[in-house]
Amino acid sequence: MAGESISTRRVHDPPGPNEGYRVLVDRLWPRGVKKQDLHHDEWLKQVAPSGALRRWFGHDPERFAEFERRYRRELEGNADLDHLVEIAADRPVTLLYAAHDREHNQARVLADLIRERLALRR
């Protein structure tokens, strides 16, 4: 099922095979990446954490659980999240992010949330 194939990848990693629809989920364009060089299908700024939440988190792994709780609350009623769920229902999706930490970032939270929403549809 397509919803089973939601992955995350750093923008600095080369594209892999079978990544499907590639979506940048950062509010700011990643430093050092030219727009023409990033292989992506869409940039959804509004699904990214707010600037205030991003600054509060500061990529501190000790704050990740609280970051996830606050970020999920920010995403309630977000039309771009609904759009991502619709895409993921039909095909594989790769969420692209610029953070260095592969475990403690918004793309991971977003991927989990999309999987949860897809599971509710079944």
- Convert the pLDDT of each residue in 102-111 to its tens digit: 999 999 999 9
Domain boundaries, the chain: 2-121
pLDDT at 114 over 50: yes
Given its phi and psi angles, is residue 101 left (phi above 0), alpha (psi -120 to 50 degrees) or beta?
beta
Q: N- to C-terminal Cα distance for the chain?
A: 11
pLDDT at 93 over 80: yes
Q: Which residue has tokens 């991502």?
A: 84
pTM of the prediction?
Answer: 0.93
- Convert the pLDDT of each residue in 4-33 to its tens digit: 599 999 999 988 888 999 999 999 999 999
- The 3-state DSSP class for residue 87 equals helix
Contacts of 117 (CB under 8 A, 6+ apart): 81, 85
